[in-house]
A and B are shown apart, each in its own frame.
Chain A
Amino acid sequence: MIEVKDLRKSFGETEVLKGLSTTIYEKEVVCVIGPSGSGKSTFLRCLNLLEEVTSGHVLIDGTDLTDSSTDINDIRSKVGMVFQHFNLFPHMSVLQNVTIAPQKVKGLSKQEAEDAALPLLEKVGLADKANTYPTSLSGGQKQRVAIARALAMNPNVMLFDEPTSALDPELVGDVLEVMKDLAHEGMTMVVVTHEMGFAKEVGDRVFFIDEGIFMEEGSPEQLFDDPQHERTQSFLSKVL
Chain B
Amino acid sequence: MYIFSVNHYIEVLPLLLEGLQFTLLITFVGVFLGFVLGAIFGLMRISKNKIVYGIATVYIEVVRGTPLLAQIFFIYFGLPDLLGVSLDKLTASILAIALNAGAYIAEIVRGSVESVEDGQREAGRSLGLSSSQTMRYIIWPQALKRMIPPLGNQFIISLKDTSLFSAIAVTDILYQGRQYASGTFTYFEPYLMVCAMYLIITIPSMVILRRYERRLEKK
Contacts and interface: CB of A to CB of B under 8 A. Distances in A.
A77 B127 contact: yes
B145 interface: yes
Contacts of A79: 126
Given A87-B122, A87-B123, A105 B142 contact: no
A100 B137 contact: yes
Contact of B122 (A80, A83, A100, A135): A83
A105 B126 contact: no
Most buried by A among B123, B127, B130: B127
Interface of B is mostly: helix
Interface string A65-102: 00000000110111111010101111100000000110
11 contacts: A50-B122, A76-B126, A76-B127, A76-B128, A77-B127, A79-B126, A81-B123, A85-B119, A90-B142, A91-B145, A101-B128
B111 to A, nearest CB: 18
Interface in B101-147: 117, 119-120, 122-130, 133, 137-138, 141-142, 145
Given A91-B142, A104-B133, A74 B120 contact: no
B50 interface: no
Interface string B133-174: 100011001100100000000000000000000000000000
Contacts, number: 62
Contacts of B137: 100, 104
Contacts of B219: 135
B118 to A, nearest CB: 9
Given A91-B142, A104-B137, A135-B219, A50 B120 contact: no
B127 A50 contact: no
B100 to A, nearest CB: 31
A77 B122 CA distance: 13
A79 B125 CA distance: 11
Nearest to A89: B138
Nearest to A133: B219
A147 interface: no
Interface of B: 117, 119-120, 122-130, 133, 137-138, 141-142, 145, 219
Contacts of B141: 91
Most buried by A among B128, B130, B145: B128
A33 interface: no
Contact of B120 (A48, A87, A135): A87
A73 B129 CA distance: 6
Contacts of B123: 81, 83, 87-89, 146
Contact of B126 (A50, A90, A100): A50
Nearest to B142: A91
A90 B119 CA distance: 12
Nearest to B141: A91
Nearest to B122: A50
B116 to A, nearest CB: 10
Given A90-B142, A91-B141, A104 B120 contact: no
A17 interface: no
